[in-house]
Amino acid sequence: MSYSVVPSKRFRKAVEKYRRGGRKRILEAAEEAIDLLAIRDDRSLFVLSKQWKDHSLRGDKHGTRELHLSQEDLLLYTIDGGLRIVKLLDIVSHEDLRRQ
């Protein structure tokens, strides 16, 4: 029951920015979280909610979800359950998310 993972152009740019900035630990955390997002079974959803603080956003970002890669870095994504797709939107800091 796995989902396809589709990275957006913005997400790919963020990965490159983090790679150039030497933020390898954040990218490793993102890879681990993405693997769990693709599985989407009871165990992976539990780990995402407890370890990664996965939750949906409210307000004008309704429909978007975030999880914490670190204290300050967030992975933004959406889920299309019908098509079984996880779309990776961006990696941002809390401050960047507030400015968007």
pLDDT, one tens digit per residue, over 57-96 is: 998 889 999 999 999 999 999 999 999 999 999 999 988 8
Helices (H), the chain: 9-20, 24-39, 42-51, 94-99
Q: How far apart are CA 13 and CA 28, in angstroms?
A: 16
Domains observed in the chain: 4-99 (3.30.2310.20)
Mean pLDDT of 16-34: 96
CB contact at 8 A, 8 and 90: yes
CB contact at 8 A, 73 and 91: yes
Read off the amino acid at residue 95.
E
pLDDT band at 97 (very low <50, low <70, confident <90, very high): confident
pLDDT of residue 90: 97
pLDDT of residue 13: 98
